């Protein structure tokens, strides 16, 4: 009994001195970022650039894993359904704002803890090099007469919304231009060069190599300001069309992260994003860096959801 009492007293004394075993601080092991799109694509490229700085800021290895399929549903579902412990994060894209609207999946921005947008890539208007059109105004006027087609994403995807919004802002119907679905920018651009479509409304960044090779020409960007990657290309607003549209890429997590974990992720993400290594790598590819944080990002996602739903409803795609 005396020995047990002495041990108990000693344990209390050690506790009072702070000698209890230390609780592990997050993160104590590698963190995974799920990318819902294929390797080598825009989302994958942005996240892998960001992960370099994020790994250093977190002090743990960052594993980037591609989970593709279902027009982004598979990967976004995997993010939303993961344990909210900070060890599985995700690369949420604009599709989270309208998956539910088009009936693909019950996924909304509320399905996630939104950490911050990381980058955006504006849409544009790109035509074949030997196209008779030299300005975006000429393209729009021709489109109003009928017979024009565009591509760049799936039906209801970001580049479809970009084209529909442009025509609406120009005083025409959202379905004035026939939108041909594609599996992404690369196949759509191949179709453009082959003469299968009239224009590509995806990111001019994706068309840069073909533009440099003299096979296509970029007539406009759908941004508030000119792109540093295409300083000589005007915006739609410069042509009197009040419309801008960018596909955006973010860091997100399953909804319900503990406050301290969310704060650590946000802090590390902000540090990583601000690093010269990440900023320069994005800029060199014509990608616009963005960091708005949880509150502003949530407000942006709500606003974007409303705009997307309005266009999708007018296109007859809302369920």
Average pLDDT, the chain: 91
pLDDT of residue 103: 93
Average pLDDT over residues 276-280: 95
Q: What is the DSSP letter of 129?
A: T
DSSP E strands, the chain: 31-35, 62-66, 88-90, 112-122, 124-128, 149-151, 178-180, 199-200, 216-221, 246-254, 288-289
Per-residue pLDDT tens for 125-137? 999 999 999 999 9
For the cut 90, the answer to whether the pLDDT of residue 184 exceeds it is no
Question: pLDDT confidence of 140, banded at 50, 70, 90?
Answer: very high
Q: Please say if the pLDDT value at position 19 is more than 50.
A: no
- Which residues are CB-contacts of 120 (< 8 A; sequence separation ≥ 6)? 246, 247, 248, 249, 287, 288, 290
- What's the angle, vertex CA 138, arms to CA 135 and CA 140, rounded to 5? 110
| Stronger pLDDT, 138 or 319, i.e. the higher one | 138
Instruction: Output the pLDDT for position 13.
Output: 45
**What value does the mean pLDDT take over residues 266-271?**
98
Q: Are 116 and 297 in contact (CB under 8 A)?
A: yes
Distance CA 85, CA 163 (A): 39
Domain segments of the chain: what residues?
Answer: 31-121+247-314, 124-239
Calpha distance 42→87 (Å, rounded): 23
Coil vs helix vs strand at 27: coil
pLDDT at 38: 85
Find, among 151, 90, 115, the residue nearest to 264 by Cα. 115
Q: Which residues sit opposite 34 in a β-bridge?
A: 65, 90
Q: What is the rounded average pLDDT of the residues 102-111?
A: 95
DSSP class of residue 201 equals -
Note the pLDDT of residue 42: 84
How do 246-254 and 149-151 pair as beta strands?
A: unpaired
State pLDDT tens for residues 59-96.
999 999 999 988 899 999 999 999 999 999 999 999 99
pLDDT at 182: 86
pLDDT tens digits, one per residue of 22-59: 457 999 999 999 999 888 888 999 999 999 999 999 99
Please report, rounded to a whole number, the percentage of residues in the chain having pLDDT higher than 90. 81
Model confidence at 304: pLDDT above 60 = yes
Q: What pLDDT is stored for residue 133 in this prediction?
A: 96
Give per-residue burial for 205-226: e unless 16+ CB within 10 Å, then b.
Answer: bbbbebbeeeebbbbbbbbeeb
Residue 97 contacts residue 304 (beta carbons within 8 Å): yes
Higher pLDDT, 316 or 284: 316
Report, at the CATH architecture level, how domain 31-121+247-314 is classified. 3-Layer(aba) Sandwich (3.40)
> What six digits make up the tokens of 10?
């000693």
82-95 per-residue burial string, b: 16 or more CB within 10 A, e: under 16: bebebbbbbbbbbb
* pLDDT average, residue stretch 206-219: 94
Phi, psi dihedral angles at 11 (to 5 degrees): -65, -40
Within a 13 Å sphere around the CA of 79, how many CA atoms are in the beta-carbon half?
Answer: 35
Q: pTM, whole model, 2 decimals?
A: 0.84
Same fold, 31-121+247-314 and 124-239: yes
Q: How confident is the model at residue 10 (pLDDT cuts 50, 70, 90)?
A: very low
Question: Looking at domain 124-239, which of 1.25.40.10, 3.50.50.60, 3.40.190.10, 3.30.70.3270 is its CATH number?
Answer: 3.40.190.10
* Total residue length of the chain: 319
The owner of tokens 């539910």 is: 100
């Amino acid at each position: 009994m005396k020995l047990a009492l002495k041990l108990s007293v000693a344990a209390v004394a050690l506790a009072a001195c702070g000698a209890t075993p230390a609780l592990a601080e997050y993160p104590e092991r590698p963190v995974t970022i799920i990318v819902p799109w294929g390797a080598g694509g825009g989302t994958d490229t942005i996240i892998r650039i960001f992960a370099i700085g994020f790994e250093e800021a977190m002090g743990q290895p960052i594993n980037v894993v591609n989970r593709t399929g279902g027009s982004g549903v598979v990967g976004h579902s995997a993010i939303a359904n993961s344990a909210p412990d900070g060890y599985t994060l995700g690369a949420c894209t604009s599709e989270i704002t309208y998956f539910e609207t088009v009936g693909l999946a019950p996924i909304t921005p509320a399905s996630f803890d939104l950490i911050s947008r990381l980058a955006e890539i504006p849409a544009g208007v790109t035509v074949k090099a030997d196209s008779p059109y030299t300005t975006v105004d000429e393209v729009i006027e021709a489109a109003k007469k009928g017979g024009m087609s565009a591509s760049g994403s799936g039906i209801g995807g970001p580049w479809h919304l970009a084209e529909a919004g442009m025509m609406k802002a120009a005083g025409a119907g959202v379905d004035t231009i026939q939108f041909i679905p594609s599996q992404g920018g690369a196949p759509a651009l191949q179709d453009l060069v082959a003469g299968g479509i009239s224009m590509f409304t995806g990111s001019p960044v994706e068309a840069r190599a073909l533009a440099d090779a003299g096979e296509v020409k970029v007539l406009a960007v759908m941004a508030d300001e000119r792109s540093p990657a295409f300083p000589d290309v005007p915006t739609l607003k410069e042509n009197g069309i009040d419309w801008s549209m960018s596909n955006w890429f973010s860091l997100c997590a399953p909804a319900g992260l503990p406050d301290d974990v969310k704060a650590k992720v946000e802090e590390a993400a902000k540090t990583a994003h601000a690093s010269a290594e990440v900023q320069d790598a994005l800029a060199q590819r014509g990608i616009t860096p963005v960091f708005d944080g949880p509150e502003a990002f949530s407000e942006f996602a709500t606003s974007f959801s409303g705009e997307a739903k309005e266009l999708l409803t007018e296109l007859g795609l809302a369920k």
